[in-house]
C-alpha cells in the first residue's frame, strides 16, 4: 500500500483492481482446499489474505462502479462460508430495541473466549454495510483479546437523535449481558460520519470506556460555517475564542478518545492537530492518529492496514488500562501507584 505510486506505472486502475480481485479469488480457493484438509490455521490465513486483497481492489475503483457490489458479494459470501470455521467464530446476531424493533449485527468474540474480554461497538461509514466493515477489520482483530459488535450506519441514519442514542444503548446492553464481555470495558469506534455519532454516544452514555471518534470537530466545523454564513464574513475568530469553542464537546467526553484525521475521514488533519494541542493544554485525554496515505495518479489512497492496526492497538491498550486502573483502585492503591507501573500512553 505504501508503494502504490512507484509500482503504478502505465497500468490503469481497472487492471490493478482486477489483479487484486484475482488474488482474493485465489486465496479463497486456497482457503477451501485447506479446510478440506482440516488445516484450519492455513485456511484462516488464506481467507484473511483474501479479505485484504478485496479491500485493496475496492479502493482502486470508483465507489459507484458495479465491481464494488461484486466485491461486497464475495466478502459477504466468505463471511457466511468461512466465518464459522474460525477459532473466533463470527456470529450473526439480532438485537432488540424498544422503539425500533430488531436489527442485525455481527459479533466476533475475543481471542481468549474463556475470559471476559473488552468489546468495541464498530459502526460502518455511511452507505457501507456491516459486512463490508467486518471484512476489512477481521485481518486486524483476529488474535486480539478484544470482541467486536459490528453495526451499520444505515440502521441509524433514518432515525432521530434520541432513537440513535437508544440504538447505541441497546448495543451496550447486549454486550454487557454477554458472559464473555467485560461490561466495564466497552468502547465505540466510528469512521466517516459515524465518527460523529461515536462522539455523541460517548458523551451520552458514560458506560463507554474508550472512543475512536471525531472529538466534536464535525459539529465545530458546522458551527463555524453557520457563523460565517450568518455574518457574511470569513474573518478568523480570536484564538482563545476558537480554542474554547473547539473544546466545548471534547470537554464532555469522560473517557479517553482517539481522533483519526486525514484519508477518507471527515476530520481534517489541521483541525485535529489544533484540537489535540488544545486538549493537551486543558488536561483532556485525547490522542491523534493521522491516516497513512499514498499519492497515486487517481489521488490519495489510504493505507487502511496501517491505520486499522494503529486504531485497534490503541483500543486494546486503552481498555486494558481501564482494567488495570479498576484493579489497583480496588486494591487500595492511588493513581500515582498506578502510573508508576503502567504506561497509559
In this structure, the answer to whether residues 149 and 40 fall within a common structural domain is no
In this structure, the answer to whether residues 71 and 154 fall within a common structural domain is no
**What's the pTM?**
0.86
Q: Looking at residues 139-149, what average pLDDT do you find?
A: 93
Instruction: Write out the H or E segment, with its range, that includes residue 141.
Output: helix 130-141
pLDDT tens digits for range 30-62: 999 999 999 989 999 999 999 999 999 988 887
In this structure, the answer to whether residues 95 and 50 fall within a common structural domain is no
In this structure, the answer to whether residues 176 and 280 fall within a common structural domain is yes
CATH code of the domain in which 240 resides:
3.40.50.1820
pLDDT tens digits for range 265-304: 778 888 899 999 999 999 999 999 998 887 666 667 788 8
- What's the domain count of the chain? 2
Backbone angles phi, psi at 224, to 5 degrees: -65, -40
In this structure, the answer to whether residues 183 and 257 fall within a common structural domain is yes
- Asked if the model's pLDDT at residue 333 lies above 50, the reply is no
In this structure, the answer to whether residues 99 and 78 fall within a common structural domain is no
- Asked if the model's pLDDT at residue 219 lies above 60, the reply is yes
Range of the domain at 127: 89-341
Instruction: Write out the H or E segment, with its range, that includes residue 13.
Output: helix 13-36
What's the start-to-end Cα distance of the chain, in Å? 28
Closest CA to 83 of 132, 48, 115, 118: 48
In this structure, the answer to whether residues 67 and 182 fall within a common structural domain is no
Give the length of the chain.
Answer: 345
Domain final residue pick, 84, 113, 131 = 84
In this structure, the answer to whether residues 58 and 131 fall within a common structural domain is no
In this structure, the answer to whether residues 259 and 166 fall within a common structural domain is yes
Q: What is the CA radius of gyration of the chain?
A: 21
In this structure, the answer to whether residues 259 and 324 fall within a common structural domain is yes
What is the per-residue pLDDT for 61? 82
* Banded model confidence at residue 109, pLDDT cuts 50, 70, 90: very high
In this structure, the answer to whether residues 31 and 149 fall within a common structural domain is no
pLDDT tens digits for range 180-217: 999 999 999 998 889 999 999 999 999 999 999 999 88
Diameter over CA atoms, the chain = 70
Domain final residue pick, 60, 84, 108 = 84
pLDDT tens digits for range 60-105: 887 777 888 899 999 999 998 888 878 888 999 998 877 667 889 9
Closest CA to 249 of 212, 281, 275: 275
* Count of Cβ atoms closer than 10 Å to residue 202 Cβ: 28
Amino acid at each position: 500500500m505504501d508503494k502504490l505510486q512507484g509500482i503504478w506505472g502505465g497500468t490503469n486502475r481497472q487492471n490493478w483492481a482486477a489483479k487484486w480481485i484475482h488474488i482474493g479469488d485465489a486465496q479463497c480457493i486456497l482457503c477451501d482446499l485447506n479446510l478440506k484438509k482440516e488445516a484450519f490455521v492455513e485456511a484462516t490465513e488464506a481467507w484473511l489474505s483474501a479479505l485484504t486483497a478485496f479491500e485493496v481492489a475496492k479502493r482502486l475503483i470508483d465507489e459507484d462502479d458495479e465491481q464494488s457490489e461484486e466485491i461486497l458479494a464475495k466478502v459477504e459470501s466468505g463471511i457466511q462460508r468461512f466465518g464459522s470455521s474460525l477459532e473466533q467464530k463470527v456470529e450473526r446476531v439480532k438485537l432488540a430495541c424498544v422503539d425500533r424493533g430488531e436489527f442485525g449485527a455481527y459479533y466476533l468474540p475475543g481471542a481468549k473466549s474463556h475470559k471476559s474480554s473488552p468489546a468495541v461497538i464498530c459502526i460502518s461509514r455511511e452507505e457501507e454495510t456491516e459486512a463490508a466493515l467486518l471484512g476489512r477489520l477481521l485481518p486486524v482483530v483476529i488474535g486480539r483479546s478484544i470482541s467486536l459488535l459490528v453495526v451499520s450506519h444505515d440502521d441509524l441514519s433514518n432515525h432521530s437523535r434520541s432513537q440513535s442514542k437508544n440504538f447505541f444503548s441497546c448495543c451496550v446492553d447486549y454486550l454487557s449481558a454477554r458472559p464473555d464481555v467485560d461490561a466495564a470495558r466497552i468502547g465505540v469506534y466510528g469512521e466517516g460520519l459515524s465518527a460523529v455519532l461515536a462522539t455523541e454516544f460517548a458523551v451520552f452514555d458514560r458506560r463507554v470506556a474508550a472512543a475512536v471518534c471525531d472529538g466534536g470537530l464535525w459539529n465545530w466545523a458546522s458551527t463555524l460555517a453557520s457563523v460565517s454564513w450568518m455574518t457574511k464574513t470569513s474573518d478568523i475568530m480570536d484564538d482563545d475564542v476558537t480554542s474554547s469553542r473547539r473544546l466545548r464537546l471534547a470537554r464532555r467526553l469522560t473517557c479517553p478518545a482517539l481522533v483519526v484525521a486525514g484519508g477518507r475521514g471527515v476530520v481534517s488533519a489541521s483541525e485535529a492537530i489544533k484540537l489535540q494541542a488544545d486538549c493537551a493544554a486543558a488536561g483532556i485525554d485525547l490522542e491523534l492518529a493521522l491516516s497513512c496515505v499514498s499519492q497515486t495518479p487517481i489521488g490519495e489512497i489510504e493505507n487502511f492496514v496501517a491505520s486499522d492496526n494503529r486504531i485497534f492497538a490503541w483500543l486494546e491498550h486503552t481498555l486494558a488500562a481501564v482494567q488495570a486502573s479498576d484493579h489497583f483502585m480496588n486494591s487500595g492503591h492511588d493513581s500515582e501507584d498506578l502510573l508508576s507501573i503502567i504506561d497509559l500512553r
